[in-house]
Amino acid sequence: MDCILQSWNARRAVNYGGKLTAVDQIILIKSDPMTHSEFEFSSRNDGISFSATMRDNQDCCRFMDISYSHPNRWTSLVLPMTDEQEDRVYARAAKLNGMGYDLIGLGSFGTKWDIIKPHPDKLWCSEACAELIKAAYGYGDDFVPHFYSPTSLYFEMVHRLAKK
């Protein structure tokens, strides 16, 4: 069954009553208009989501039941998947669950320079989602999870899915 890449569209969220956080403003320097990524599993896995976050005192990769109650603030991209692919993704997420949040890596998005320095044992949101997508589709060396911001991951997947 299909899964969904959910991308928080900070610019659109403001138009629908949301507020930009300080973290949103930093991420927008390199990832405009999206500032957060979540991987939403299919109903086979109760629509649970997975990502890395600092919200709710998590500071780690985690599974979370998210209602996406403000759909106008999210940009959703359907990720076609077989049950076998989703099972691989869930297994990968289970291994990443509890891994720390890479604040330094995320901070590298706060500059105009390409100085991304990912931590080997921590992830940021789009990096965590890209890890799951890579597990699903078996992408090779041309798909490097730590290179993706929320916006670039969304558009990379739009491009790759259009080629199928």
Q: What DSSP line would sit under 86-139, residue for residue?
A: HHHHHHHHHHHTTPEE-HHHHHGGGSSS------TTEE-HHHHHHHHHHHHH--
In whole angstroms, what is the distance from residue 155 CA to residue 77 CA? 10
How do residues 37-84 score in pLDDT, each as one tens digit?
A: 999 999 999 999 999 998 877 789 999 999 999 999 999 999 999 999
In whole angstroms, what is the distance from residue 29 CA to residue 99 CA? 26
**Domains of the chain, start order:** 3-162 (3.90.1720.10)
How do residues 3-49 score in pLDDT, each as one tens digit?
A: 999 999 999 999 999 999 988 998 898 899 999 999 999 999 999 99
E strand residue ranges, 12-55: 34-40, 49-53
pLDDT value at residue 111: 64
Q: Which amino acid makes up residue 153?
A: L
How do residues 75-118 score in pLDDT, each as one tens digit?
A: 999 999 999 999 999 999 999 999 999 877 776 666 666 666 77
- What CA–CA distances, in Å, run from 33 to 41, 73, 152? 23, 11, 10
